[in-house]
Chains A and B, each alone.
Chain A
């Protein structure tokens, strides 16, 4: 009897992510949600520019690679073309909260019926560890070598809090993947974000607090602890908007 297997919605391609990176966990959670909802054959994923740029090789469903930050616009096109398809984007913090801010805000306010997986690790991983829109105050990165100085480069962008002010979006939640309890909750939340789309409810975004041991300059274990000590206090976990849930 098989008690643990690779989700059908993942290919056999080996992931390129660094040791200790949580992208692998998040990929798996997304794939499990797709498998469990039985939507693999009609799902289309949109990969970002950033660490997850090659996600098109990892997800077994049809995939599109978008320009930096434009995934929600590309997903809008795919969904409008074939509304019976389930369309998700998988984006990092630079992609979604910096260069693609306009696409994020407007797809949310249109309540575009798509699912957005937003991986927030507070740094640009692919390009080697520059300051992200979500880097914490004082956080040392390659482009904030003396720590993020909020008087010069402002404060982190809190996507869930910001989008929750809009009337449009259906569902906004922030989860983390740094321990078993949080991972289980992340799985249920991601699945709900897909279910919302299946049920035609609209824009559902899950912000996943993630780690980047390589560019944070930590061991994987320390990175997971850093999430608890620094990320979660600044980015509180929870559901920020659940329109259908609230209506009950």
Chain B
């Protein structure tokens, strides 16, 4: 096992990506994730990899498309406005069934917004990554250790299901420092890629990486087949963590930095005799729908704590089929709720249900 080192979240992603076998990084500078590019710029030349600062986010994601088509592990990282520019490429990656690993260290929006932490790209990541019918696996780390672990997991899932896996972090996760231990190389799963364009060597028919299907019957079939794969992911790859849920009457649902803050609020609520608990989705897509539906049988209300105007709240309502009230505790624009604010919301909710 590796030793524990103190790292920034952004650096942990970069180092974990290298451990996962990624030797190609393409990016364009944008706060608050530029440490990933800086780390890759230092490391890649020393390990025979590629670091390339692209002319734009659009070029960067298309370079990712090229490396992925050639069968190699590859990544790009950006922050909210930059990820919006990548949406064209994300759609093409999906349409061509290419694996890719993409990081969004979110900042406030819309527009140029701000540079402070945010979770307001939840819709973009989980529902509307680009044009057309497609999904991305969306991973939401809540510690620097998870930034590293979910990066490795992300590369594995991307290859296994031939699609994009995205880390949806926020400025806090990217910038904060914590001790982290990065898994050894031996544990990393790799996958054969017989579809890759590596040259026929005149030994096989040519491979074609393509998202164009002019015959509607064929395009429909491609979409149905892809969604069969998505169904398997929904069945097999849901990840979440629970905290004090055994007898909880009020269930907080939160991810990333919001979950870190909320956990303190749950502890304080318990001290004050309120039966609060938390479910922390680690995969935002696939969303832990089954667990939330099950929880809705025992809890009296949910509170979605998010750094957005209430995006995940809709998924909680859908998952629980609107059988319980879902409250929203939010700050936006780069503001983060304090544990006291979350505790206050828990108390208000407690008052409402009693």
Contact = CB atoms under 8 A, between A and B. Distances in A.
A138 interface: no
Given A74-B65, A77-B62, A85-B198, A60 B206 contact: yes
A42 B208 CA distance: 14
Contacts of B277: none
Contact of B67 (A57, A61, A63, A78): A78
Contacts of B74: 77, 81
A52 to B, nearest CB: 12
Nearest to A103: B59
A76 B211 CA distance: 19
Interface stretch (A64-72, A151-159, A214-222, A236-244): A64-72
B24 interface: yes
A165 B199 CA distance: 34
Interface residues of A, number: 36
Given A77-B70, A81-B24, A81-B72, A64 B209 contact: yes
B208 A65 contact: yes
B40 to A, nearest CB: 13
Looking at chain A's contact residues, the main secondary structure is helix
Contacts of A63: 197, 206-210
A60 B202 CA distance: 10
B69 A77 contact: yes
Nearest to B49: A80
Interface stretch (B50-58, B301-309, B313-321): B50-58
A41 interface: yes
Nearest to B93: A67
Contact of A64 (B54, B55, B69): B69
Contact of B59 (A57, A61, A70): A70
Nearest to A60: B206
Interface residues of B, number: 40
A42 B54 CA distance: 26
Nearest to B58: A70
Contacts of A57: 208
Contact of A74 (B56, B69, B88, B206): B69
Contacts of A224: none
Contacts of B66: 46, 64, 73-81
B174 interface: no
B64 A77 contact: yes
Contacts of B62: 66-67, 70, 73-74, 77, 103
A78 B209 CA distance: 12
Most buried by A among B52, B54, B209: B209
A60 B200 CA distance: 9
B324 to A, nearest CB: 44
Interface string A16-47: 00000000000000000000000011111010
A75 B52 CA distance: 14
Nearest to B210: A65
Contact of A80 (B52, B59, B203, B206): B52
8 contacts: A40-B200, A41-B201, A42-B199, A44-B70, A61-B200, A77-B67, A81-B67, A105-B55
Interface of A: 11, 40-44, 46, 53-54, 56-57, 59-67, 70, 73-82, 85, 102-103, 105-106
